[in-house]
Chain A
Amino acid sequence: MTGGGRRVGVGRTVGTAVALALLGLAPLAVTREDWLNLGVVFFLLVALAQSWNVMGGQAGQVNLGHAAFFGLGALATRHLWAGGVTVPIAMAAGVALATVAGIAVGLAAFRLRGAYFAIGTLALAEVLRIAVGNVLPEISTLPAGAIAAYRLSDRYYAAAALAVGTTLAVAWLAASRLGLAMEAIREDETAAEASGVGAFRVKLAAVAVSTGLAGLAGGLFAFYHISYYPQHAFSPTWTFDAVLITFIGGVGTVHGPVLGAALFVFLREYLALRWVDLHLLIFGVLFIAIVLLLPGGLVEATARLRGLARRRRPPLADPAGGTGRA
């Protein structure tokens, strides 16, 4: 039994999406560029963590090569956009490339279970990262015209739309029959197969959605940055950030990645002002503590607190909705 999205109910999902959307209107009132840039990073990480959570959280397949699909989305989007294709079409192509690559990897790697899947995907992503670094060693910079036309608020709205859209898509998925099948596989693949869930097909669907969304986030990355090294989008850091955020927020839940990303971005920026890189130390320790002591993350913590508060009054039926697991 887990704190999965379906049991959380529609209200909280809508609330999360509305809060994100309101935050997405910030450029109407805020003109400070540093704040808006921080917002773009937050939305980007929300989308990336949500995409990882589909596979890692809902279907229970820990994919440590997620950065590869983010990178492929960024690569295709940037390449086509620089070649004159409009941004939405370039991003769609990025999604398509990431999804195809995701399905191809899934076809090979789903023969592996659990930790073997995790290290296998990590190895493949490293191969891709090294290859991209060798083939495209030079920095990718926007043409002068595009830099002159660059408006941060456009990027901000696009990032907010991406975060809201991804969150709603994941919520919808969690409530669907496919989401249920994914959870069944996470809990016990053999039992799920025995009760008629086609595990391989369901996992392929999960990997397609997850890598497609990662490719979309990568497309936004390519649209947002004026210049970056193509290899950077393939860095394992993207995978690790997504894993950290998802677990700290609450793995397998819909609003966990949003909470996790908020805490992650806040702590990272706040601590970076004082002590460079200290945030990694804190997140590392926090992550270990969550895996061992509180597998449901922040979402479970708040549910437990609410449960405690409720227990003071006459007892009600099962307030917390069970416990999660990694």
Chain B
Amino acid sequence: MRGLVQQLILGVLLGGLYGLAAAGLSLVFGVLRVLNVAHGELIMLGGYLAFGLVTLLGLDPFVALLLVIPLSASLGALLYAGLFRFIVRHGEETRIKNSLLVGFGLALTFQALAVRLFTADERSITTAYRGRALALGGVVVPLGRLLSLLVALLLIALLHAFLRRARWGQAIRATAEDWEAASLLGIDVRRAYGLAFAIGTALAGAAGTLVSLGYSISPSIGLEWTLKALIVIVLAGLGSAFGTFVGGVVLGCAEALSAVVFGGAYREVVGLLLFFCVLVARPQGLFGRS
């Protein structure tokens, strides 16, 4: 029983990061209607950025996060201006298919680039408090991961508040709802697209920072994280930042449970199967609004 609770706690801690990883992809998917399968690679790059800032400048990882977020957002703005701007010109079906292909090329490129720049070794950020943990009635909560979960929740809350309250946040939501109507109302749809993409990339960078802090990164983790984010999106649907976060926690718990029941080797399988079943049960896709 204690083992199960321990696994669930670790599952929630990891699941929060799944939620953060998915929030960025979900925003881009929902607003631009493009599927950037290089999202996991953006997470990976964010992780290396944080790792570099921590090891080279000696910053605390949570301070480094404050630099990673604007840097990742700039990378996102560049990617939008250089690539995705041309994809959103097409109709919905071509748009999503081309974005899938371009994302696939990007994923390959970033991964090869990361191997050249950072070697293929696994890295993780080591801090003075990394080994510390809270002991609560026989179960252990690693402090660094708990802080990461709280930061992830804070970022989700900020995203939520921005999308609800800020002028440009409302413009982004209007664009997601109906871009033609939004542009008739005088919203600069292109700019909303670019902003959403930059925010999505910033969230990926933040997620990468937290991953390199509590877990480890290597150039090849991208595909795994893209799949996690996709699974969460399919489970949670689009349109609510907190919903996405909860979806991530649910996935983390489901993985932990399956690891207890079937053993750690099949940990990844449960999410993928859930994903496929939900997808097939709702074949109209994620935009199907009835």
Which residues from chain A sit less than 8 Å from chain B, CB to CB?
Answer: 62, 108-109, 111-116, 118-120, 122-124, 126-127, 130-131, 134, 236, 240, 243-244, 247, 275, 277-278, 280-281, 283-285, 287-288, 291-292, 325-326
Bound-complex Cα distance A280 to B107 (A)? 10
Can you report 10 residue pairs joining A to B where beta carbons are below 8 Å apart? A108-B276, A109-B280, A112-B283, A236-B223, A244-B108, A281-B116, A284-B110, A288-B105, A288-B106, A291-B102
For B269, list chain A residues within 8 Å (CB). 127, 130-131
A247 to chain B, nearest CB (A): 7
| Distance between B264 CB and nearest chain A CB, rounded to angstroms | 10
For the complex, is B268 an interface residue (Cβ under 8 Å from A)? yes
The distance in angstroms between the C-alpha atoms of A120 and B35, with both chains bound, is 13
**Which of A108, A111, A292 contacts B102, CB < 8 Å?**
A292
Q: How far does the alpha carbon of A319 sit from the alpha carbon of B71 in the complex, in Å?
A: 48
Q: Which of A118, A124, A243, A247 has the most CB of B within 10 A?
A: A118
> What residue of chain A has the Cβ atom nearest to residue B37's Cβ?
A119
Quote the shortest CB–CB distance from A66 to chain B (angstroms): 13
Q: Is the interface of A mostly helix, strand, loop or mixed?
A: helix
Q: B35 near A115 (CB under 8 angstroms)?
A: yes
Count of chain B residues with a beta carbon within 8 Å of a chain A beta carbon: 42
Question: Are A287 and B108 within 8 A (Cβ)?
Answer: yes
Known interface pairs A62-B97, A119-B35; A126-B272 also in contact (CB < 8 Å): yes
Enumerate chain A residues within 8 angstroms of B266, measured Cβ to Cβ.
Answer: 130-131, 134
Asked whether B55 is an interface residue with its Cβ less than 8 Å from the other chain, the reply is: no
Q: Is the CB of B113 within 8 A of A120?
A: no
Q: Are B279 and A284 in contact (CB under 8 A)?
A: no
B100 engages A115 (CB within 8 Å)? yes
Known pairs A236-B223, A285-B105; A126 contacts B116 (CB<8 A): no
Flag if B285 contacts A116 (CB, 8 Å): yes
Quick one: given A112-B279, A112-B283, are A126 and B268 in contact (CB under 8 Å)? yes
> Quick check: is B86 within 8 A (CB to CB) of the other chain?
yes
Are A127 and B272 interface neighbours, CB within 8 A? yes
| CB-based closest 8 A-B pairs | A284-B109, A284-B108, A280-B112, A288-B105, A111-B283, A287-B105, A281-B112, A115-B96
- Beyond A111-B280, A112-B283, A278-B116, whether A123 also contacts B109 by CB under 8 A is no
Q: Does B115 belong to the interface (CB within 8 Å)?
A: yes
- Expressed in whole angstroms, the Cα–Cα distance for A126 and B102 within the complex equals 21
Q: Contact at B101–A247, with CB atoms within 8 Å?
A: yes
Query: Quick one: which of B86, B93, B116, B230 contacts A119, CB cutoff 8 A?
Result: B230
Q: Check B193 for interface membership: any CB of A closer than 8 A.
A: no
A284: min CB distance to chain B, Å: 3
* Residue in A closest to B101 when the chains form the complex, CB atoms: A291
Task: Give Cα A126 to B279, complex, Å.
Answer: 16
1/0 per residue, CB under 8 A from A, across B98-128: the answer is 1111101111111111011000000000000
Q: Which residue of A lies closest to B286 (CB)?
A: A116
B280: shortest Cβ distance to chain A, in Å? 6
